[in-house]
Structure 1
């Protein structure tokens, strides 16, 4: 239950890693350049539009897609139903649960506090938080948490988590309950020795944001990320709101019968720093524009956040590198060098959820794909992969 698809996408490798930094040009550095030609493959009626329609017609995609080029919308499409019981279709303003794409907001919040001199990347977790085991408090750093090299794991997989979590009925109970399970966790390897995707690590980052800023985590993100970026439909909606708000897509997963079943009740009461904020495609495009345009961070800290730090080990489904693709874990997103171009983004997934946002800083593209159907375990989501393929090809 609630196993994230990042086991496929996040390159959960076991190889040794080095704290290196790529030469990634700050995203948005090309924002002032003259917009290039939009290839016919990416325009309405082009190859990507046809591919997306075919995926929807064959029952493999339900959701919304937005492609922008230098801030200008190029293609916006929606397919399928946001709420099957009430016959509400997905549309351009439909709000989707983001799963692990939420980690981008947490990473930006940390970078803002670093920029203000209130947090240091090399400081240990114990500098900011009390009540953690010594091997976490004294050895795990903010850098380790951001790069998934802390050795901490996933509370969703811990014994007893799903016995307690359904009973949490407030934001405070979710945050405290989630943290209580993390307090029992111990690093599976020496911090910095390996890369292993960690929901626990990103929850601790959110706790650091709250402790240092003096604001509850969710309030901080609302003010300093969502409002600052003009993300008017974004929030951490609670489960009761999700059930009733017709703007918010319900998540659907395949039942054993082959029918699509609503799996909303499998989610927590509210999202955490590790996952399940909500946004529309337009809001995520605005987030990308604000991040690359200096509205959320100064250029230096934008470059630090989006520049690759740790090379994840190759994983099934293409998480690693290859002759034409070299991947690094950045402070939040993955940074991939594909055919000489940087692609910086994050995906998220669980039962009934498949999301991604990709920034192409060399050519000014942003691709947002938000789906309320999941994809088969062990496979890559086809729609964002096709968008990346065509956008990269257009820039070569």
Structure 2
């Protein structure tokens, strides 16, 4: 394991500011508004660089308007001999839940399941009163409250990981009853949803998402990469875990680095692929189902980021920030901190992918201010 605090400083990939093509201006008001927005984006760029200079950020950030990148910036190292770039692949952690929810919604759209179906209709050994809606909104009560202190299971395939996780969930008493009584975030619940997708579709969960979500969305460099693939790749960022001493170590050298984080957090992607996905909601789902899965279902307590309202939807968080709706998801864990924000009315997207576990909330807040200001 190697620490990196001594080698980072201001290291980063060559800047990549992608300017929108000039368009004919029709009014002075339009020119003024555009200039103000450019100023806001420049201010955000300086803030991001300062965060990296203080070794608080390593990763790639993208801001886009109407589907076109306005700013792409990369800082820090993907691993000891490679800088992060705009093409670096990061583990997006719980942003992965978006794709699991889309897979479930596709099957509902096709009439192959319904959101309020009981889980026991598809999988044996689970409580009858738990529904797919409960799993999608983290209100099922299913899942382990903690993952334990010992080394993770030594699974060596997606099938082993899926079967082993379901067995663990089945053997764990519900965290609360009845289902729907509480919102309690459950990664295990999304593994269970992955098993439902596999049961209903006749494909492995991972193959289903590759074929029916990633491919039609044009996500050419996105996949459920495994530990061996991460170790062998030259374009995948390694997660750098913060130690109690403050030093950071390469998490891929740890026995705690899992084979896969599966349907709950196992997607690896780039900022460009995630942007492509945000433009593809209408391709992978019909519009009413897009609205359904992204709109709030369960009120959440105040978040670490200021919001006017904050709800959990189906694999999405739905909020109002500065009188604008924002939906997407965060993703965090040892050596990773991410956020996907979609501003549908303003047609902006903000994507932050990091291979540090230092919170990116200040960067997310600054991006939101630049977009809504």
Which category describes the TM-score, using the shorter chain as reference length?
Answer: 0.7 to 0.9
Question: In 2, Cα distance between the equivalents of 1:42 and 1:261?
Answer: 35
Corresponding residue SS for 1:54: helix
Contact 1:56–1:80 (8 Å) recurs in 2:
yes
Question: In 2, Cα distance between the equivalents of 1:179 and 1:318?
Answer: 33
| CA offsets 1:302-330 (integer angstroms, 9 cap, x no match) | 01011111101335x248x5xxx111111
Tell me, which stretches of 5 or more residues in structure 1 are unaligned?
1-33
- For normalisation by structure 1, the TM-score amounts to 0.82
Question: In 2, Cα distance between the equivalents of 1:88 and 1:159?
Answer: 33
1:172 shift after superposition? 1.3
Name the CA shift for 1:37/1:330 in 2 (closer, same or farther; >3 Å): farther
Spell out the pairing of 1:130-209 with structure 2 (5 A cutoff).
Answer: 130-132=124-126, 136=127, 138-154=128-144, 157-159=146-148, 162-163=150-151, 165-189=152-176, 190-209=178-197
Question: In 2, Cα distance between the equivalents of 1:276 and 1:185?
Answer: 22
1:255 shift after superposition? 2.5
1:366 shift after superposition? 0.7
Aligned-CA RMSD value = 1.9
> Which residue of structure 2 lines up, in the alignment, with residue 261 of structure 1?
249
Instruction: Identify which of structures 1 and 2 has the higher relative contact order when contacts are C-alpha pairs closer than 8 Å and 6+ apart.
Output: 1
Question: In 2, Cα distance between the equivalents of 1:178 and 1:150?
Answer: 16
- For normalisation by structure 2, the TM-score amounts to 0.87
| CA offsets 1:201-248 (integer angstroms, 9 cap, x no match) | 111111110000000001011111111100011001111110120100
Q: 1:121 aligns with which of 115, 120, 127?
A: 115
Contact 2:190–2:263 (8 Å) recurs in 1:
yes
> Which residue of structure 2 lines up, in the alignment, with residue 70 of structure 1?
66
Question: In 1, Cα distance between the equivalents of 2:39 and 2:181?
Answer: 43
> Which residue of structure 2 lines up, in the alignment, with residue 314 of structure 1?
302
Which range moved further: 329-338 or 380-389? 380-389
Contact 1:174–1:268 (8 Å) recurs in 2:
no
> Which residue of structure 2 lines up, in the alignment, with residue 363 of structure 1?
346
Contact 2:219–2:274 (8 Å) recurs in 1:
yes
Q: Could you say which structure has the larger radius of gyration?
A: 2
Name the CA shift for 1:80/1:159 in 2 (closer, same or farther; >3 Å): closer
1:185 shift after superposition? 2.1
**Match status 1:226 vs 2:209:** no
Name the CA shift for 1:289/1:329 in 2 (closer, same or farther; >3 Å): same
1:167 shift after superposition? 1.4
Question: In 1, Cα distance between the equivalents of 2:279 and 2:351?
Answer: 12
Question: In 2, Cα distance between the equivalents of 1:240 and 1:158?
Answer: 22
Q: 1:81 aligns with which of 77, 83, 101?
A: 77
